[in-house]
Structure 1
């Protein structure tokens, strides 16, 4: 069973600017949650904090030991991933198993089978020797999901996983996300498409640097909550200091 992840008075900064203020709540074990809000709302910053990439300015994230790498898988936005390095699809997917094989062990027959199975699951049979730099955005995202399959993590963090990819790829990858959720893994995804959220994600966290609502998606994505979101985003002060209320 995936662990519960608790946010206790979590305050985050990014580039010395306020990003998330005094966020409290719990991602329940095995939940499937969309994190939504306007641009600059702190959504990606929140995922980085849960993944242990960004230390809190105040408060804490508890319930997941980020040092136990096999328990957590984090997929950043495609724009943050360098595709210019000459590496094959198979080697990229194999990186998902580095905790199992170590940095210097070769790819044995069992791992090769796992790579083939993962690529089959994402619809990329026969792509093992292709260079990742030659792939379309949708194909590359399928490769990254195949790598996640090899990690077998109990907590999966996805930052805008369906942005700038075709509808068929989106549908196939959403099916994988639903499969993970069916296996009682905790899935947290930053998304922009509210129709997609309403259709597939039972839980939603609506964020505009501060928490607006968190709970069942139908209760969160109300007209009133979205009005509050827009009003709060219009009032942002990029030069504001981090407040210390709730410390």
Structure 2
């Protein structure tokens, strides 16, 4: 079995200012983990480190036996440029890039899989539409269809339901539930605690540092949430980066 995805004494900075500070723990293998915390808590920064887009200032991300091909990453929709002329079918088929390359020929089988993926997210018949013609909800369905084609064992989702209507959110949560039933490891940045409680058995509460990490019911307590808010408000962005070598005392134990 592939070893769990871990972070070890991880510190992430922008311009030497700490954004995530000496965080340690282990993401539950084959389970869904919600990443929650106040605004500016470092959630998106941590996601970039988990996918390998951001180099740690201190500590490390342990990918186990995985390569980047094993990780599907969906950034915030606001970070995605839709101005490039691209059809829905072509956008979804980019999920096959690891097999065909960016400019490889798309096989008949790949096209058939893309059609099935679009059907699975409720967009059958949208293949020829341009992505810049879609609503935010429709475009997010396209991106979920692309992840379906990637068939990755680890899926990272950064605020996947922002500005989406309730029907689209419910449909995409059902896709996440299906991924979880298939034994994939899912990590998602979320803000809606009801979504977290209903669909994510594990939660990491972050406020620059790890506040709590484990079973969702034990993490989303009033005490932990108040502590996270207080930590975020008291954080000194101008403080120098420390160079402590041992894990932070409040770092979470491994989640199994």
The TM-score with structure 2 as length reference comes to 0.93
Shift of 1:6: 1.1
Quote the Cα distance in structure 2 between the aligned partners of 1:208 and 1:178: 27
Q: Determine if the alignment matches structure 1 residue 11 to structure 2 residue 11.
A: yes
* Residue equivalent to 1:147: 146
Shift of 1:161: 0.4
Aligned pairs (5 A) from 1:160-239: 160-239=159-238
* Residue equivalent to 1:35: 35
Quote the Cα distance in structure 1 between the aligned partners of 2:99 and 2:161: 28
Quote the Cα distance in structure 2 between the aligned partners of 1:57 and 1:28: 24
Structure 1 unaligned blocks of 5 or more: none
Indicate how the Cα distance of structure 1 residues 162 and 2 shifts in structure 2: closer, same or farther if over 3 A, else same.
Answer: farther
Is this contact kept in 2: 1:3–1:28, CA < 8 A?
no
* Residue equivalent to 2:22: 22
Shift of 1:244: 1.7
Equivalent pairs, count: 246
* Residue equivalent to 1:72: 71
User: What per-residue deviation string (whole Å, max 9, x for no partner) do you get for residues 42-92 of structure 1?
Assistant: 0000010010000000000103466x2331101000011000111110110
* Residue equivalent to 1:243: 242
* Residue equivalent to 2:251: none
Shift of 1:2: 5.4
Quote the Cα distance in structure 1 between the aligned partners of 2:133 and 2:239: 43
Aligned pairs (5 A) from 1:76-155: 76-155=75-154
Give the 3-state SS of the residue equivalent to 1:73 in structure 2: strand
Quote the Cα distance in structure 1 between the aligned partners of 2:92 and 2:14: 30
Indicate how the Cα distance of structure 1 residues 73 and 2 shifts in structure 2: closer, same or farther if over 3 A, else same.
Answer: farther
Shift of 1:3: 3.8
Shift of 1:227: 1.1
Quote the Cα distance in structure 1 between the aligned partners of 2:73 and 2:215: 23
Indicate how the Cα distance of structure 1 residues 54 and 140 shifts in structure 2: closer, same or farther if over 3 A, else same.
Answer: same
Quote the Cα distance in structure 2 between the aligned partners of 1:76 and 1:65: 23
Structure 2 unaligned blocks of 5 or more: 247-256
Quote the Cα distance in structure 2 between the aligned partners of 1:88 and 1:204: 36
Is this contact kept in 1: 2:28–2:202, CA < 8 A?
no
The TM-score with structure 1 as length reference comes to 0.96
Quote the Cα distance in structure 2 between the aligned partners of 1:34 and 1:79: 20
User: What per-residue deviation string (whole Å, max 9, x for no partner) do you get for residues 3-61 of structure 1?
Assistant: 40111100001344210001010012102100000011000000100100000000001
Quote the Cα distance in structure 2 between the aligned partners of 1:225 and 1:64: 30
Is this contact kept in 2: 1:14–1:45, CA < 8 A?
no
